Copies of this chain bind each other. A is one copy, B any other.
Amino acid sequence: MSENVGRWLRDEIENSILSNEFSPGERLDEMVLATRFGVSRTPVREALMQLDAIGLIEIRPRRGAIVIDPGPHRVYEMFEVMAELEGLAGSLAARRLDKASREAITATHSRCEQSAAAGDSDAYYYDNEEFHKAIYAAGRSEFLEEQCVQLHRRLRPYRRLQLRVRNRLSTSFSEHCAIVDAIFAGDGDEARRLLRTHVGIQGERFSDLVASMAIR
């Protein structure tokens, strides 16, 4: 329970939002949440204030909190920023790679290979996340790493949708291969470029996203 009910609730509610248990636009009633988690309204409110500060929900004065619905266009923008940050992380990783980071990248990369070969998109989804985190860490910029992890978290539901698209698994994995090569070769510019296109959702990948968002 993390020693602190407010923070625990924040994570709990955040996860509920990101796993789409609370859908965009839904109203979050303080009292309902309080009874559901067996606490008073005070820590619930604190959790909500924090989520508002992060930008996951919106608290309108005297009218309660609602889950923010980013909408396809804004999600696209978020991927665009994510692509840029990942590109930076990749270029830093190529420059600063050390033994431990190299091993971490190799390990997560081969786990991706296995789940891609098995066609297990849920496993790949998880391994892919670890792979990207290994790259952030290899960049040795704590702030950048935090930003990347946070954005990655927020984009999680959409990433998951993306992987369902036909052939995306194998395409994604072959992109990973090129990225790993560039980083291990110390080619920062190439790593940056590859990661940018890997993460970004230009062209048909954007319309795929829009289509899958509409289904929900």
Contact = CB atoms under 8 A, between A and B. Distances in A.
A58 to B, nearest CB: 12
B54 A144 contact: no
Contact of A53 (B45, B54, B80): B54
Nearest to A56: B53
B143 A3 contact: no
Contact of A46 (B45, B55, B85, B147): B45
A196 to B, nearest CB: 10
Number of copies: 2
A212 interface: no
A3 B50 contact: no
Interface residues of A, number: 30
A51 B50 CA distance: 8
A88 interface: yes
A140 B55 CA distance: 19
Contacts of A45: 46
Given A46-B46, A49-B50, A143 B85 contact: no
27 contacts: A3-B61, A6-B49, A10-B53, A45-B46, A46-B46, A49-B49, A50-B52, A50-B53, A51-B53, A53-B53, A54-B54, A55-B146, A74-B142, A77-B141, A77-B142, A77-B143, A78-B143, A80-B88, A80-B143, A80-B144, A81-B85, A81-B141, A81-B143, A81-B144, A81-B147, A84-B87, A85-B85
